[in-house]
Amino acid sequence: MPVCLNAGHLRIGRYSEPGRIYLITAVVDQRQPFFIDWRLGRLVVQELHQAQEEGWGDFLTWVVMPDHMHCLVQLHDKTLAELMCRIKSRSGLSVNQALGRRGRLWQKGYHDRAVRREEDVKDLARYVVANPIRAGLVTRVHDYPLWDACWL
């Protein structure tokens, strides 16, 4: 299991509640657009799937953009800090290996927002999967290769 240094300092005052749904955003270091190559983005997707299969949380929807990712996740018994440490460190290792590079892939930290009401979930999911359209990468979300939603 990877160790995230200073993870506690990044999360001071934050609380991770099992069963709660969170909207999370993580950004690539220096906003480098590594995931414009969808094959590299699939390495991040593999880590999301693996974390879900291992019971860390249920990923309701996600999108991997060229330089960041968004996801809606319902936590199980791990904290957000543990979940994000796992995903970022393992995907960073995979992407670096694929590129033959070293160094940090992701910016330190991440942004999270607890979803407060059940009716917010589908609206937030629509917001997440529409990111490639708003960014001008595609005109239809189905034309973008790096997204999914549990309702489809």
Question: Quick one: average pLDDT of 55-60?
Answer: 96
Measured CA to CA, the distance from residue 103 to residue 86 in angstroms comes to 16
Number of structural domains the chain divides into: 1
Q: What is the pLDDT of residues 76-133, one digit of tens each?
A: 989 999 999 999 999 999 999 999 999 999 999 999 999 987 668 989 999 999 999 9
The parent domain of residue 101 ranges over: 14-149
68 in a structural domain:
yes
Q: What is the pLDDT of residues 17-26, one digit of tens each?
A: 888 999 999 9
29 in a structural domain:
yes
5 in a structural domain:
no
pLDDT computed for residue 40 by the predictor: 98
Contact between 72 and 123 (Cβ < 8 Å): no
Please name which of 110, 26, 34 lies closest in space to residue 66, comparing C-alpha atoms. Answer: 34
CATH of the domain at 121: 3.30.70.1290
6 in a structural domain:
no
